[in-house]
Structure 1
């Protein structure tokens, strides 16, 4: 999918400076934006992480009732 987005001049300049500093990485603006969006979306969706860590939504006992023994 292609999309047109607006970047304020100051933000566009900061991105270009970052890309110029990296030099050899050969990352272009499109790749940079895609990576930034992926990172932002990953930070918002922690459901996979919570499932992995074993966080539960409800438990038969409270922590102050020595729940680890049950």
Structure 2
């Protein structure tokens, strides 16, 4: 399984995941428990939402030449 991770333009909270030619948006969240206990970042689940190509084009960081 190949996975490609990209950032969202001007937003550090979300990531765009491309897995098997399908796009998802990952919410990294700002839970107070994850700030107090950093190891919870790997234990607690992070919500992931499936999105379509039109939304990916609007959210993705533009490439520079």
TM-score bin, normalised by smaller chain: under 0.3
Q: Higher helix share goes to which structure?
A: 1
Decide which structure has the larger Cα Rg and report it: 1
Q: Which structure ranks higher in relative contact order (CA pairs < 8 Å, sequence separation ≥ 6)?
A: 2
Structure with more strand by fraction: 2
TM-score calculated relative to the size of structure 2: 0.26
